[in-house]
Chain A
Amino acid sequence: MMACLLVAVLFVAGIAVQTSVLALLVPGGVHPDILLLLVITLALFSDARRGALLGLAAGLLQDIVFAAPLGFFAFGKTLAGVLAGLLAREVHKDLLLSPVLVVMVLTVLVETATFLQQHLLFAGSPLFASYLAAVVLPRMAVHALLTLLLYPLFYRLHKKALLFADREA
């Protein structure tokens, strides 16, 4: 229950930061996807099922707040949650590099999935190469930096058993 509340607060704060602080401070720039970072990081301390639910919740929240078709962001985030959850047992949680690499890879994957959705659902998509260079890679770099800051905090919460119980351990 405590973990659910914490996650809810994190998601609401994350989307608020994304839509207000970042949008105001870096107008028109490439913003980090705070919710994606939260989903991946939290899923790394959980499992695939919970990761999927986390991704679904965060994605639907983003869909609602951004007024996107329901599922547009939810799909990519659910995918990220599932994969991060699947990797949870394989990743060395004590090493900072592992989650950073996971975040970088999943960022590219989710952005690619989002691009494909955009391409399939709406007309006028940009070229993937330019999208990759202009958005995906800069966002991946920013996510890597932010993971260096965020992951230790979540690691401490995990150690204090404030996050999810390690059911699959």
Chain B
Amino acid sequence: MLAPLKHRKKKIPLLLLVVLLPALLAFTVRWRQDITVIEEAVLFVMAPVQEGFQSVTRSAEVVWATVRNYRYLLEENERLKRQLAAAYTLETRLAELCLENLRLRRMLEFQERAEHELLPAEVIAREASGWFQTVTINRGAAHGVRSAMAVVTSDGLAGSILSVTPVSAQVLLLTDSRRAVSALVQRSRDPGEVGIVESAPGRPGYLKMVNLPGSASIRPGDTVISSGLGGFFPKGLVIGYVLETGEDELGLTKYALLQSAANFNRLEEVFVVLSAAETDGEAAEE
């Protein structure tokens, strides 16, 4: 009984090769669309294994590619950094130009409605020690600039020309302690309420209007303009806006703290008032 069984077992390979597999092949070569449950189970088991191997291979490939291309990546990184820096510079420059364009538009508008002949100038230097409030502009005697001419921005009065070279000039700003302007309140324009605007001690960047009569009707929010008295600055230039008012120690006169109309911290483009100075100004200081 055992001998035939053993004999039969030896025939298994032959049966497989000659009968079973050719038959299976012949059958499934036509009917392969519908997979069996067994095939489905095999594929179900194989899928995560294949996915795992695929994932590991891809990771290894990425690591290998990184190692292989390390030098190239370094160069590319350097190149991209340079490009980024250039782009950043360009972007900054663009923003600068936008702001400049805006300022110039405002200046142009101001120049067109101004009553005086104005010479545009660009601030090219600024006093850096902090002791004085002066800037240098890129217009000088060759452009018609003379000493003591008023300098304004589109927002208001900025200062006056202190010294002139052929191609540049120094401007003494209103916030400098050496500068003072005769002024009045725009709302009343009362000649009897003329005061002097000068730098505010202890309040850098602010102005102080002093020597106002005790009866002056000045109040916070008022606009202060140049009076034109003394012939140094043309009349009607906006100097600043009243923040607060008070009386001096003796109670005889009033004073007012002003927020300057011109932004002295961001002076970039200014105008030199040519015509007014020619007609009015000769005094060094009012």
Interface residues of A (CB under 8 A from B): 12-13, 15-17, 19-21, 24-25, 48-49, 51-53, 56, 61, 64-65, 67, 69-72, 74-75, 78-79, 81-82, 85, 117, 121
B2: shortest Cβ distance to chain A, in Å? 14
What chain B residues lie within 8 Å of A82 (beta carbons)?
13, 16-17
Interface contacts beyond A12-B46, A64-B46, A81-B13: sample of 5 additional A-B pairs, CB < 8 Å, sorted by A: A20-B50, A49-B12, A72-B29, A78-B16, A85-B13
Say whether A75 contacts B22, CB under 8 Å: yes
For chain B, residues 44 to 101, give those with C-beta under 8 angstroms from any C-beta of chain A.
45-46, 49-50, 52-54, 56-58, 61
A67 to B, closest residue via Cβ = B32
Contacts A16-B49, A65-B46; A71 near B21 (Cβ below 8 A) = yes
Interface residues of B (CB under 8 A from A): 9-10, 12-13, 16-17, 21-22, 24-25, 27-29, 32, 35, 39, 42-43, 45-46, 49-50, 52-54, 56-58, 61
Contacts A19-B50, A49-B10, A49-B12; A24 near B58 (Cβ below 8 A) = yes
Which of A65, A67, A75 has a CB less than 8 Å from the CB of B21? A75
What chain B residues lie within 8 Å of A64 (beta carbons)?
35, 39, 42-43, 46
What chain B residues lie within 8 Å of A15 (beta carbons)?
46
What chain A residues lie within 8 Å of B43 (beta carbons)?
64-65
Say whether A70 contacts B53, CB under 8 Å: no
Say whether B29 contacts A17, CB under 8 Å: no
Which of B16, B25, B54, B61 has a CB less than 8 Å from the CB of A52? B16
Q: How far is the CA of A47 from the CA of B43 in the complex (A)?
A: 29
Which of B24, B49, B50, B54 has a CB less than 8 Å from the CB of A70? B24
Q: How far is the CA of A65 from the CA of B44 in the complex (A)?
A: 10
Q: How far is the CA of A52 from the CA of B21 in the complex (A)?
A: 11
A75 to B, closest residue via Cβ = B21
What chain A residues lie within 8 Å of B45 (beta carbons)?
12
Say whether B25 contacts A69, CB under 8 Å: yes
Say whether A48 contacts B25, CB under 8 Å: no
A-B pairs with beta carbons under 8 Å apart, 29 shown: A13-B49, A16-B50, A21-B56, A21-B57, A24-B61, A25-B61, A48-B10, A48-B13, A49-B9, A49-B12, A49-B13, A52-B13, A52-B17, A56-B16, A56-B21, A64-B43, A69-B25, A70-B24, A70-B25, A70-B32, A71-B22, A71-B24, A72-B25, A74-B21, A75-B17, A75-B22, A78-B16, A79-B17, A82-B16
